[in-house]
């Protein structure tokens, strides 16, 4: 019998190719009945209720029948070890099912009132671990500050984990330096902070000042220190960033990296409408008017170009085929978000593309800059067309005037 080598050149030989033995279409969750999930077992009313929730979730997510049955078997195995109606600990789910299946099982049990959430979120573990890397006399104050950022306070909104990573990353080296001569955070002086800021420049200086000021203001507010050593200091405004047009090589890199329908949609909306990542994540199907060739992004209504209409229509067709029963109204959905109503997270939209060398903010800046060059750098037009603030529109206009004064070929793209 002839054996076919896998296309990648790796792995085991196949005994046939897809040409002579086509791939069979897999059964979906919509083809499965609830009774099939509990056949052969003496299911209780609670188990029937849990499996009913699972079946609904699987149909919304357009799972395969195999995935549904595996998840059902895991849930039945966990419930069998508990008396009727007894709640299940989340930590036990993680141990019995693994992280992926446990996450789905936890959401189902929680909706049925059968979950005890006894796990610690990863960001809190990170806070404890990072605070422990500091000298002992600094640990408690810094840990309290990070938790206050995470949870929010009476007059301060909760901050994202990314903000905690950035703030702590900026203050940690200076706390370690001060700990060599200072026994406590309250002993850090105005001159200590000023010396740190004097050694920095540009955005690094502004970012470090913002982080240190947040720490010392928290400590003063909670009476952990006697005086705020950053109170009389100022670093002014952050320097304006230099925006340069994208080179042909950069554009080619983006085209090569963008493959999936979702990636083409995201990059296309940024390239055509200079849409922000947040506005794309929050875009709903109600914001798209294909017959009227219009789309509303971030509160600004745009006409759909031929290119934009094609990529939007292609994604909506794929979305309906992949998740036909989802109730999520957001345009962009994933396997997980299709099960609920929340938008996708920033990692999926921004960081996933960044790992492929695609910087959405660079593409967005290039689009605004090209528009500014085309309309003689009118800041009012830029503000209305892309929903920019007055100052941002003026900044782009100034950059366009500078670029228009010299050939594009003279711009040093290596400085980007």
Is the residue at 170 inside a domain?
yes
Which one of 65, 93, 116 terminates a domain?
116
Q: Note whether 380 and 271 are same-domain residues.
A: yes
Report which of residues 404 and 59 the model is more confident about.
59
Mean pLDDT of 179-195: 93
Residue 7 confidence (pLDDT) above 70: no
> What is the CATH classification number for the domain harbouring 275?
1.10.443.10
Q: Note whether 145 and 100 are same-domain residues.
A: no
pLDDT of residue 413: 47
Percent of the chain with pLDDT over 70: 88
Average per-residue pLDDT for the chain:
85
How many beta carbons lie within 10 A of that of residue 87, not counting itself? 14
Q: Note whether 86 and 103 are same-domain residues.
A: yes
Highest mean pLDDT: which of 53-57, 202-206, 373-377? 53-57
Which one of 73, 99, 116 terminates a domain?
116
Whole-number Å distance between alpha carbons of 92 and 79: 11
Could you read off the pLDDT of 159-177 as tens digits, one per residue?
A: 989 899 999 999 999 999 9
Q: Note whether 352 and 254 are same-domain residues.
A: yes
Query: With bands split at pLDDT 50, 70 and 90, how would you rate the model's confidence at 31?
Result: confident
pLDDT of residue 311: 94
Range of the domain at 385: 248-402
Is the residue at 368 inside a domain?
yes
Whole-number Å distance between alpha carbons of 35 and 337: 27
Report which of residues 253 and 115 the model is more confident about.
115
Is the residue at 232 inside a domain?
no
Residue 112 confidence (pLDDT) above 80: yes
In 3D space, the residue among 396, 358, 356, 359 whose CA is nearest the CA of residue 376 turns out to be 396
In 3D space, the residue among 228, 231, 220, 218 whose CA is nearest the CA of residue 155 turns out to be 218
Q: Note whether 311 and 394 are same-domain residues.
A: yes
Mean pLDDT of 30-34: 84
| Residue 186 burial by Cβ neighbours in a 10 Å radius (0-12, 13-18, 19+) | middle
Is the residue at 8 inside a domain?
no
Is the residue at 416 inside a domain?
no
Query: With bands split at pLDDT 50, 70 and 90, how would you rate the model's confidence at 4?
Result: very low
Is the residue at 408 inside a domain?
no
Is the residue at 268 inside a domain?
yes
Q: What is the DSSP letter of 23?
A: P
Mean pLDDT of 67-72: 91
| pTM of the shown model | 0.68
Q: Note whether 253 and 385 are same-domain residues.
A: yes
CA end-to-end span of the chain: 57
Q: Note whether 37 and 108 are same-domain residues.
A: yes
3-state secondary structure of 278: helix
Whole-number Å distance between alpha carbons of 253 and 155: 44
Q: Note whether 304 and 366 are same-domain residues.
A: yes
Q: Note whether 97 and 156 are same-domain residues.
A: no
Q: Note whether 315 and 257 are same-domain residues.
A: yes
Is the residue at 7 inside a domain?
no
Backbone angles phi, psi at 153, to 5 degrees: -130, -175
Report which of residues 415 and 367 the model is more confident about.
367
For residue 213, what are the CA distances in angstroms to 158, 162, 209, 360, 403? Answer: 17, 18, 6, 30, 37
Could you read off the pLDDT of 118-155 as tens digits, one per residue?
A: 888 889 999 999 999 999 999 999 999 999 999 998 88
Contact 257, 307 (CB under 8 A): no
Q: What is the DSSP letter of 358?
A: -
Which one of 70, 94, 116 terminates a domain?
116
pLDDT of residue 188: 94
Residue 301 confidence (pLDDT) above 80: yes
Query: With bands split at pLDDT 50, 70 and 90, how would you rate the model's confidence at 330?
Result: very high
Whole-number Å distance between alpha carbons of 378 and 16: 63
Q: Note whether 193 and 324 are same-domain residues.
A: no
Read off the tokens for 172.
């940690």
Backbone angles phi, psi at 334, to 5 degrees: -125, 180
Could you read off the pLDDT of 212-241 as tens digits, one per residue?
A: 999 999 999 999 999 999 988 877 665 565
Mean pLDDT of 273-293: 93
Q: Note whether 262 and 357 are same-domain residues.
A: yes
As for how many domains the chain has, the answer is 3
Residue 2 confidence (pLDDT) above 50: no
pLDDT of residue 410: 52
- What residues contact residue 178 under an 8 Å CB cut-off, 6+ apart? 188, 192
């Amino acid at each position: 019998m002839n054996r076919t080598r896998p296309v990648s050149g790796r792995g085991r030989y196949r005994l046939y190719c897809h040409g002579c033995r086509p791939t069979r279409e897999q059964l979906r969750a919509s083809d499965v009945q609830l009774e099939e999930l509990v056949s052969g077992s003496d299911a209780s009313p609670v188990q029937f209720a849990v499996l009913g929730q699972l079946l609904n979730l699987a149909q919304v997510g357009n799972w395969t029948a195999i995935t549904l049955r595996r998840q059902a078997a895991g849930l039945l195995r966990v419930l069998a070890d508990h008396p009727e109606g007894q709640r299940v600990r989340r930590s036990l789910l993680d141990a019995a099912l693994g992280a992926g299946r446990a996450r789905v099982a936890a959401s189902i049990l929680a909706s049925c009132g059968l979950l005890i959430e006894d796990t610690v979120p990863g960001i809190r573990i990170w806070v404890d671990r990072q605070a422990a890397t500091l000298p002992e006399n600094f640990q408690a104050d810094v840990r309290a500050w990070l938790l206050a950022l995470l949870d929010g306070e009476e007059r301060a909104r909760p901050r994202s984990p990314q903000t905690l990573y950035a703030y702590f990353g900026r203050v940690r080296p200076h706390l370690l330096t001060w700990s060599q001569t200072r026994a406590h955070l309250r002993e850090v002086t105005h001159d200590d902070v000023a010396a740190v800021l004097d050694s920095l420049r540009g955005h690094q200086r502004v970012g470090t000042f913002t982080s240190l000021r947040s720490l010392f203001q928290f400590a003063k507010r909670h009476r952990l220190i006697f005086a705020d050593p950053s109170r009389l200091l100022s670093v002014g405004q952050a320097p304006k960033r230099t925006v340069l047009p994208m080179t042909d090589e950069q554009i080619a890199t983006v085209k090569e990296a963008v493959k999936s329908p979702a990636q083409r949609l995201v990059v296309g909306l940024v390239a055509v409408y200079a849409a922000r990542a947040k506005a794309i994540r929050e875009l709903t199907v109600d914001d798209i008017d294909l017959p009227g060739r219009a789309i509303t992004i971030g509160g600004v209504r745009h006409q759909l170009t031929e290119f934009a209409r094609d990529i939007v229509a292609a994604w909506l067709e794929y979305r309906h085929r992949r998740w036909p029963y989802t109730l999520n109204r957001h345009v962009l959905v994933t396997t997980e978000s299709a099960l609920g109503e929340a938008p996708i997270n920033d990692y999926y939209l921004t960081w996933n593309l960044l790992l492929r060398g695609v910087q959405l903010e660079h593409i967005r800046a290039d689009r605004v800059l090209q528009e500014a060059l085309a309309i003689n750098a009118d800041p009012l037009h830029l503000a209305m067309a892309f929903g920019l603030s007055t100052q941002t529109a003026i900044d782009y206009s100034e950059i366009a005037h500078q670029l228009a004064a010299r050939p594009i070929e003279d711009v040093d793209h290596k400085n980007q």
